[in-house]
Amino acid sequence: MELEAIPGVGAKTAASLRELDDPVATVESGDVAAIARAPGVNEARAARIARGAIRRRHGDDGRVLATDRARELYREAIDLLRERTVTDYAAKRLETFYPSASASRIAEAQSFAADAADRDPDPAVREALADCAPLSDPPTVRVRDRCLATADAETLARAEAEVPELSVETVEDARDVSELGRSYASVIVLDESFAGLDVEGDVSVRPDALEAPAETVPERLLAFFAENRDRLEAAAAVHEAAAAAGDPVSGGGPPVALDRLRDALSRLDDDGTIAGDAELDRLTAAVDDLDAAVSTAASVADDRLREAIRERDVTIEGTDFLSLVEQGARVDSLLDRELADEYDAAVDAAREHLADALRLEPEEAELAERVFGGDPFFPVDHDESAVSRLRTELSAARDRRAAKLKADLASDLGDLRQPVEELVRDALELDVELAVARFARDFDCTLPEVVEPAGDDGGEAPPAGFRIEGGRSPLLDVDFPDVEPVDYGVSGATLLSGVNSGGKTSTLDLVALVVVLAQMGMPVPAESATVERFEEIHYYAKSQGTLDAGAFEATLRDFGDLVDGADGRLVLVDELESITEPGASAKIIAGILEALDDQDATAVFVSHLAREIRAAADFEVAVDGIEAAGLVDGELRVNRSPKKGHLARSTPELIVEKLADDRGGEFYGDLLEKF
């Protein structure tokens, strides 16, 4: 698949997507989090790209939601699902489900929804999901004690692009490499022509170094795991909670052994450095504490000498004193002559303190001995060059230890990189599934049957339309358990009549919601439902008052385009007669219904002008009615399920009938006869 072929993906976005490891596979997977790791692509944008890729894969180029009200119903349906998610990822991922005219896409989505609806949205699992989030890429880590070296310009450019963590140096001969060996703790030469090179320092010739980034720059992998430690722990907790609830995330268990993952993470600090290694900790502390330890050790020696001098009477004969003065002697000469043993003991104490404070190994302690000694002096002095050498040796040992541990840990983590991606993705996808499961349970949903449009096999059968049994709309402003169920089915062009506030608009909303959800591949709030796979859904909400001439003309143009369009449409219209005076409205609606009937469209027009429309139409218009049982204590009692082939009585008729029954008289009887 060409990335630019995906709807909504231009050249700039395609260039960003190509920064992903496997852009085409990632985009086709629908993994919103993985797509969002492309530079400049946020999760909302990633959801649109994933949706575009799905459309492309199924050849789904149509636009099912053809009107503003149809699109509003879709947003309300998505919001009902999104409200049942825990993670931001799942909320965005649900955006990849849309009303489709593609049979293969609907079947694919229904397969997902069927599996999801069987899930158990256990509270413990949802609690674990609260800390779950997509993996993120850490900032580039700069490694300053290691470099790459090459004599080839192309290799140089490739190394700089693929390994931005390391400096890449140009070399021409062994001398250049030797210079680098003195400047860096380790040097990796990329050119095979340097094989057999023997220079001082940690220098290796590895022509395949760019193909093995985990060995060349293990810090990259360690930084990734350090950056995502909390996310990985959260995903592991989700898998464990789901397994404990008896509804594991995947049948085969987590894609990585969780104990092994946690053991590896325990060896990694939050900044990507090695944790939990006593030897590395010792060497790191020794380097960090060296100057302070030398200063303290000198103080220990000074205190020993000071105490020795206080307790010792030193007698100097006059001729000796005069000789010392004539020779320009200082106190160190006196120390050497009179307190040599005490001075040696003080130096030994300083060396011992330094070795103990830094926890030096015997070979390191030998280097430390050179820090103190030499000619007697008070206060006791130290050899700065010896300190520098000790620091160099300790730092080198620390770096060698850290490099080995990093390489070992990176090797252990290397084969976990892909499995942990799956670990987190599966946990996040579980949130999507649980949202569908909760939606299905909260609204007593069932998976509908989506049937092919009539005539697809070349026959002349009437449109399949829709059939809803026990449908209840979750969009009503009442508690869902209190919603009265509705049975309704339509095939062809139909008028829906009924009293004011009898539920006609709510019935249209229910039909639209069921059809939208069905073509999304989602469960629908009904005991059962059969829905034709419509190419387009046109839903026109009730107009607010009579339209002026310009708006009226624009509305007629909309309906003109509608009846001139393709077959396979669902048309829902709420009280179109309000756009102009009743006489003209009846004729206009009759004409629209005639055109829709000729196209075998499925249409439901809510209208109070059913008699007038039926009289004006040149075919027998089907009329259904939401029948009111009557007025009880001023309250309207209504059977919410439309009655087929029935012209429902209006509210005024019911009121007149009630007055005729209650009060009798010729006046009310005559009025009732006019209905």
Residue 456 or residue 171, greater confidence? 171
Which residues make Cβ contacts (< 8 Å) with residue 571, sequence separation at least 6? 538, 540, 562, 596, 601, 602, 603, 604, 605
Mean pLDDT confidence for 4-32: 85
CB 140 within 8 A of CB 164: yes
Give the predicted TM-score (pTM) of the model.
Answer: 0.82
pLDDT at 612 over 50: yes
Mean pLDDT confidence for 213-221: 91
pLDDT in tens, 464-517: 899 999 999 999 999 999 999 999 999 999 999 887 777 899 999 999 999 999
- Identify the pLDDT of residue 166: 95
- Please name the residue ranges forming H helices in 312-414: 318-326, 331-338, 340-357, 362-369, 384-414
- Identify the pLDDT of residue 316: 53
Q: If pLDDT is split at 50, 70 and 90, which confidence band does 33 have?
A: confident
Bridge partners of 638? 628
Give the chain's mean pLDDT. 86
Q: If pLDDT is split at 50, 70 and 90, which confidence band does 600 have?
A: confident
pLDDT in tens, 536-589: 999 998 876 555 556 667 777 777 777 776 678 999 999 887 777 767 888 888
pLDDT at 114 over 90: yes
Mean pLDDT confidence for 621-646: 78
Q: Which residue has the tokens 């050249």?
A: 11
Q: Exposed, middle or buried, 572 (CB in 10 Å: 0-12/13-18/19+)?
A: buried
- Identify the pLDDT of residue 321: 44
What would the two tokens of residue 650 be? 């209006």
Mean pLDDT confidence for 230-239: 96
Residue 536 CA to residue 570 CA, distance in Å, equals 6
CB 656 within 8 A of CB 534: no
Residue 466 CA to residue 452 CA, distance in Å, equals 11
Mean pLDDT confidence for 56-82: 93
Element (H, E) at 57: helix 43-57
Bridge partners of 536? 569
Bridge partners of 603? 493, 571
Residue 293 CA to residue 211 CA, distance in Å, equals 44
Report percent pLDDT > 90 for the chain.
48
Q: Which of 112-126, 477-491, 532-546, 625-639 has the lowest mean pLDDT?
A: 625-639
Q: If pLDDT is split at 50, 70 and 90, which confidence band does 672 have?
A: low
pLDDT at 380 over 90: no
Q: If pLDDT is split at 50, 70 and 90, which confidence band does 151 have?
A: very high
Mean pLDDT confidence for 174-178: 93
- Identify the pLDDT of residue 336: 53
What would the two tokens of residue 227 be? 């950056």
What would the two tokens of residue 167 be? 């400096």
pLDDT at 332 over 60: no
